[in-house]
Amino acid sequence: MRTTAKSSSSSPAPRRPSAAPVLERVRSPEDLAGLGTAELAELAAQIRGFLIEKVCATGGHLGVNLGVVELTIALHRAFRSPRDALLFDTGHQSYVHKILTGRAAGFDTLRTSGGLSGYPCRAESEHDWIENSHASTALSYADGLAKAFQLRGELTDGSEDPAGRHVVPVIGDGAMTGGLAWEGLNNLAGATDRPVVIVLNDNGRAYAPTIGGIATHLGGLRSEPRAQHLFGELGLAYLGPVDGHDIAATEQALRAAAALGRPALVHVITTKGHGFSPAECDEADRMHAVGVVDPRTGIPTKAPKKSWTEVFGEQMAAIGEQRPDVVGVSAAMVLPVGLGEFARRFPERVFDVGIAEQHAVCSSAGLAAGGLHPVVCVYSTFLNRAFDQVVMDVALHKAGVTFVLDRAGVTGPDGASHHGMWDSAILSVVPGLRLAAPRDPARLAELLREAVAVDDAPTVIRFPKADAGPDIEAHARMNGVDILYRAVGRPLDVLIVAAGVTAKACLAAAEELDRLGIGATVVDPRWILPVNPHLTHLADRHRLVVTVEDGVRSAGMGTALAQACADARSTTPVRVMGLPREFLAAGARQEILESSGLGVRDIVTTATDGLRAGPHIPIPDLPDLPEITEIPDLPEITEITEIPPIVSKANGSAKRADRRAL
């Protein structure tokens, strides 16, 4: 705890007047120490103006950060970061912390490739102890840090001894609905000799108003503070509620909690979007996070195109009309996952369970056991948490539960934690589970209907954070596999298996290969897991298979197909293209896909390399290909119903010449 800083309620030390805005003078938390009440208020106003200007220009978490300006100033006055560990949960409300720790200049590059991260980031600053953005983790981190500091003899005992270190998790009321938070709280509350100061930032909302008994309890404490409450019963000291927009009062409460020498919770009341009327008036989520918007009105500067989320939302609402047993389940994200229209039409059939993915999945197994068909709508990256529930509570129970994974594949500006790149890898090992990747809106409509028709196993639909784009029609469907392209009059050189939205790049690559005299077939299996047995049959009739998916390549569709081909004794080599097993940084989605080796040219090169590596097949050298920066619109494709026979090879190792149709 800072012992030198005076509370802003005491008279400020006389300072020489300075023309520079206060914000420019604050380069580190130490610079806050000498500021008096008026200057602190000025600083808060300047930070708010700065956030509105910068975040409206780049996009990012606006409403949440406008709500914690004064709270963060108070935190940095009461504690000595980085010696004391400030931990923000979920992490998206760390912009003010970044400004106060010398990172204001980076805001022009917020959430861009190589720019300032939208979450805490250890590479950026010693003030960032953790780099979290999945909710409800901070209390567990705090528990671990406090135990480590205690064992090393560094943890504070609540005295003013400057050697003692504080651990201060700052957690939202939404994040408090996650089970992990309560596991952490259980440990913190029981450790009376480890005086962690928990700051509960209660703005009454996750995106929408926070649901459940805890939210009701907090609401009760807000409107009528009382001595008996949940936190006290658990053994924590409780301070508050305190107005989180009053710097002096908040700082005072934090100092008081830190001086207790026992675990304490400071209940801070804030308003999401505080001080920016477009955010304060935004019914949906108080402008929680925005794209590029007009800083005066908060209205997007570009008219958005129809997204995958919207297409899903329309289809889900239409299915709801026909299937009264279909219900929607969301982990505090009813609107972001596209359940808005379904909720409007069937309010009693949507369950917001809080930021509780594990519970969402297990509770859905219960809904299925009770005769309903739940559609669990979560972002791909957040399903990671509920893997055990998918396996044990849904798959093992043969429960008809459909998972709709938005933000699958590369997401973009949110960076490593938000790319939905693990779902097909982890789900590939779940017995009985079927996973579909629609390539276009028509396939999403079709696959969603197929998925909710399965009542004895988990089904999954995955799609990215992107514009949905136009439909890509197939020439034919063979045993459930869509044939998207077949080079007329060319041999069956390479079979390109496209997962979902990679179809467009695969088709462009097939065109390029055709120009090189290489015969490509492009297929979309639609259901990418388990492997459609017809694919191994198709693989056997080509010289090379290239699989393309926007999930991690070490497991998933391609790996499963390679295994299936080996099991079927196919000798055709399989080249698997997908995302590397790395944490991918923030950036524009297309840029990341290309830098990860999923561009059109990468597919062409993989095919030509693979064919060249095959036995004695003459492959022409690649001419210098023109640089492809955008995927070109696809030319008209000639209708075919049969694959032409393969051209006979002079050497004996080539495939049979008397081909049947595929």
Ligand X SMILES: Cc1ncc(C[n+]2csc(CCOP(=O)(O)OP(=O)(O)O)c2C)c(N)n1
3-state secondary structure of 450: helix
Whole-Å CA distances, 56 to 24, 147, 518, 532, 582: 20, 41, 48, 46, 30
d(CA 357, CA 360): 5
Smallest distance from ligand X to CB 111, Å: 14
Residue 135 vs 167, nearer CB to ligand X: 135
Cβ-based neighbours of 347, under 8 Å, separated by 6 or more: none
Q: Does 207 bind ligand X (CB under 6 A)?
A: yes
**Which residue of 54, 92, 255, 465 would you call a contact of ligand X, by CB under 6 A?**
92
Cβ-based neighbours of 324, under 8 Å, separated by 6 or more: none
**Which residue of 93, 112, 250, 547 would you call a contact of ligand X, by CB under 6 A?**
93
Instruction: Draw the binding track, 33-72, toward ligand X (x: CB under 6 A; -: no contact).
Output: -------------------------------x--------
Residue 107 vs 382, nearer CB to ligand X: 382
Size of the site for ligand X (CB under 6 A): 25
Smallest distance from ligand X to CB 272, Å: 6
Smallest distance from ligand X to CB 167, Å: 19
**Which residue of 58, 81, 90, 428 would you call a contact of ligand X, by CB under 6 A?**
90
30: Cα within 13 Å, side-chain hemisphere: 2
Smallest distance from ligand X to CB 206, Å: 4
d(CA 260, CA 85): 18
Residues from 154 through 193 that contact ligand X (CB under 6 A): 172-175
Smallest distance from ligand X to CB 93, Å: 5
136: alpha, beta or left, given left = phi > 0 and alpha = psi -120 to 50? Answer: left
The answer to whether the beta carbons of residues 491 and 519 sit under 8 Å apart is yes
**Which residue of 81, 125, 187, 203 would you call a contact of ligand X, by CB under 6 A?**
203
Smallest distance from ligand X to CB 66, Å: 10
**Which residue of 382, 387, 485, 527 would you call a contact of ligand X, by CB under 6 A?**
382
d(CA 477, CA 274): 54
Q: Is 97 marked within a binding site? A: no
The answer to whether the beta carbons of residues 128 and 375 sit under 8 Å apart is no
Q: Does 279 bind ligand X (CB under 6 A)?
A: no
Produce one character per residue of 635-658: b if its CB has 16 or more CB atoms within 10 Å, e if not: eebeeeeebbebeebeeeebbeee
**Which residue of 2, 272, 504, 601 would you call a contact of ligand X, by CB under 6 A?**
272
Q: Is 277 marked within a binding site? A: no
Q: Is 133 marked within a binding site? A: yes
d(CA 405, CA 343): 18
79: alpha, beta or left, given left = phi > 0 and alpha = psi -120 to 50? Answer: beta
Instruction: Draw the binding track, 230-269, toward ligand X (x: CB under 6 A; -: no contact).
Output: ----------------------------------------
Q: Residue 330 pairs with which residues in a beta bridge?
A: 352, 377
The answer to whether the beta carbons of residues 303 and 75 sit under 8 Å apart is no
d(CA 29, CA 418): 29
Cβ-based neighbours of 525, under 8 Å, separated by 6 or more: 480, 481, 482, 497, 499, 531, 532, 535, 557
Residue 355 vs 436, nearer CB to ligand X: 355
Smallest distance from ligand X to CB 388, Å: 15
Which sequence positions are flagged as catalytic? 272, 357, 385
Task: Give the burial class of 397: count Cβ atoms within 10 A of its Cβ; 0-12 exposed, 13-18 middle, 19 or more buried.
Answer: middle
Q: Does 355 bind ligand X (CB under 6 A)?
A: yes
Q: Does 383 bind ligand X (CB under 6 A)?
A: no
Residues from 309 through 348 that contact ligand X (CB under 6 A): 331-333
The residues of the shown chain that bind ligand X, judged by CB under 6 A, are 64, 90, 92-93, 133-135, 172-175, 201, 203, 205-207, 272, 288, 331-333, 355, 357, 382, 385
Binding-site positions for thiamine diphosphate: 92, 133-135, 174-175, 203, 276, 357
Binding-site positions: 92, 133-135, 173-175, 203, 276, 357
